[in-house]
A and B are shown apart, each in its own frame.
Chain A
Amino acid sequence: MLKATDLRLTFNPGTPIETQALRGMTLEIPTGQFVTVIGSNGAGKSTFLNAVSGEQRVDSGTIEIDGIDMTRQPVWARARHVARVFQDPLAGTCEDLTIEENMALAKMRGERRGFSFAVKPALREEFRAQLATLGLGLENRLSDRIGLLSGGQRQAVSLLMAALQPSRLLLLDEHTAALDPRTAAFVLELTVRIVAEHKLTTMMVTHSMRQALDVGQRTVMLHQGRVVLDVSGKEREGLDVHHLLDMFEKVRGEKIDDDALLLG
């Protein structure tokens, strides 16, 4: 379970380009839930995800995962509990390493790395079987450099890698945004399958409202660094993209009114 409480973060405080990226961001994701997060540019989606992964320290507030306080832990220490797939397909894998070496790296996520060989025969067979489920023929290319694969292939392998080791939280950062529509659909389908298979607690940030409603059990909309909409269950089932857009407009409109009141 992820529990983020009253996160606040200001970039460049005290300067003309001061940005309040998170303003009391609070979100709880129960174990096993698949949440999609949407919001316009600058709403704080990526900042929030980076705060949870540890890449971005927050000014105040707490981040707990399954009751463990993670707020001050560095990225590599959180990796024991948090798996992540990046937006940039090149970011989630090491292009200089082979497919099996990348997977071996992920297999040891959050564990002590010792002096035994990273890729052992038994492990290689496991990787081969995993890759075969993709249907991309990658099971025959274990010792190819991963830099030789396409963005979509690398993203698919990244997803497999995220599930090689148990995690308490899976973070997906617009992980289909950089792919062409067909590949994006394939990777999304794979995401749904892997999340269901491993019953992963998942937070997926996306800029596609369609995608946000199509997958997962709950959708959260962020605006100006906090949650402004949180729908799940029956209410969410009846929703369509234009509903979401309407709500979005409403939220924005109200915000502007708020500001107007304040300024007036």
Chain B
Amino acid sequence: MRLARAGRGGRSLAGARVVFPPTVFPMSLYTLLGALEIGLIFSLVALGVYISFRLLRFPDLTVDGSFPLGGAVAATMIAAGHDPFTSTLVATLAGAVAGLITGWLNVRLKIMDLLASILMMIALYSINLRIMGKPNVPLITEPTVFNLLQPETLADYVFRPLLLVFVVLAVKLMLDAYFSTQSGLAIRATGSNARMARAQGVNTGLAVLAGMALSNALVGLAGALFAQTQGGADISMGVGTIVIGLAAVIVGESLLPSRKLYLATIAVIVGAIVYRFFIALALNSDFIGLQAQDLNLVTAVLVTVALVVPKLRAHWSGKKGA
């Protein structure tokens, strides 16, 4: 339900939609910008998933819990009258702590990585309910980082994606820089060849903890921003976050295959946005006849296509070469 709402650019919780801009076939500009907005927010999730799945090679499902955790913390704090910026920061840190605990379960208690993340994910469901005290916390009239920064001259549906572009770019550049530092390199080495990393004096356990904290911090940030653009946090807002994040990574990698980190992070961001556009296109084009409940099917088909296309491409170019 949540995704469908988001996909249509609808703002039922916020209820602030007044004027529709002119329609661009087959999507209105409003829908287009809405898809961009959500795509940008999920590109933060995708960057987090890229860090855990690709750099650390840690299959981490914590994100299904840390995304709503970020939303819950931010929404609850804002609703309680706290400053939205502080709330967003705390939500990000909460995500980091969630990642730390998953890492700790794996590194210290030697619980298999996937299982550790599943345990954390289900634990977070209860924790999120505790934080919110109810299944959802609406943000309708409350200030958010978006409406606090929004200039008078720009409409909110234009300003939100604009601000998000800056946020995502800043995060991307910081990640690129961090992963080329000595400490960032140690995390990448841990994921690539842990035995070698240890032989070079890398405390690989600590590297996993750091990587998982960073990954889930980004997801928590995404959740906080999502809650502030979608008019509140909901206990079920995390369902399928990992699928969307992975889909974005896979779509990005098939569009822009590269092993260079700064290109890979671009690819992941592009992947998240393209993925969102396809979803919006599929669900908003009446001539295709898809409806909101078809969302998961569309996702599955999209990811399958993204996985198969690079193989076909290699197959075809291989034939040409022969």
Contacts and interface: CB of A to CB of B under 8 A. Distances in A.
Is B one of A's binding partners?
A: yes
A75 B203 CA distance: 9
Interface in A179-199: none
A106 B201 CA distance: 9
A202 interface: no
A135 B116 CA distance: 48
Contact of B201 (A94, A111, A116): A111
A64 interface: no
A149 interface: no
A130 B182 CA distance: 20
Contacts of B188: 94, 96-97, 101
B126 interface: no
B interface, how many residues as a size bin? 20 to 34
A224 interface: no
B192 A105 contact: no
Contact of A109 (B180, B195, B201, B203): B201
Contacts of B184: 118
A113 interface: yes
A115 B185 CA distance: 10
B189 to A, nearest CB: 5
A93 B196 CA distance: 6
Contacts of B189: 94, 97, 105
A71 interface: no
A11 interface: no
B185 A79 contact: no
A118 B189 CA distance: 12
Contacts of A251: none
B246 to A, nearest CB: 19
Contacts of A109: 200-201
Main secondary structure of the interface of B (DSSP, over half): helix
Contacts of A247: none
Nearest to A79: B201
B181 A92 contact: no
B197 A105 contact: yes
A76 B192 contact: no
B198 A76 contact: yes
Given A76-B198, A84-B199, A110-B201, A94 B182 contact: no
B183 interface: yes
A94 B181 contact: no
Main secondary structure of the interface of A (DSSP, over half): loop
A76 B259 contact: no
B201 A118 contact: no
Contact of A75 (B180, B182, B192, B198): B198
B193 interface: yes
Given A94-B192, A96-B192, A145-B259, A104 B198 contact: no
A16 interface: no
A interface, how many residues as a size bin? 20 to 34
A209 interface: no
A145 B192 CA distance: 12
Interface in A232-247: none
Nearest to A161: B200
Nearest to A88: B195
Contacts of A55: 195
A97 B195 contact: no
B182 A95 contact: no
A256 interface: no
Contacts of B203: 74, 76
B199 to A, nearest CB: 5
B199 A53 contact: yes
A101 B182 CA distance: 9
A115 B201 contact: no
B204 interface: yes
B193 A94 contact: yes
A104 B182 CA distance: 8
9 contacts: A74-B198, A74-B203, A76-B202, A84-B199, A91-B196, A96-B188, A113-B181, A118-B180, A119-B180
For the complex of A and B, 7 pairs with smallest distance between CB atoms: A79-B201, A113-B182, A110-B201, A94-B192, A96-B192, A75-B198, A118-B185
Interface of A: 53, 55, 74-77, 79-80, 84, 86, 91-97, 101, 104-106, 108-111, 113-119, 145
Given A79-B201, A97-B188, A108-B201, 8 more contacts: A79-B199, A94-B188, A96-B188, A96-B191, A113-B186, A115-B178, A118-B180, A118-B181
Interface of B: 178, 180-186, 188-189, 191-193, 195-204, 259
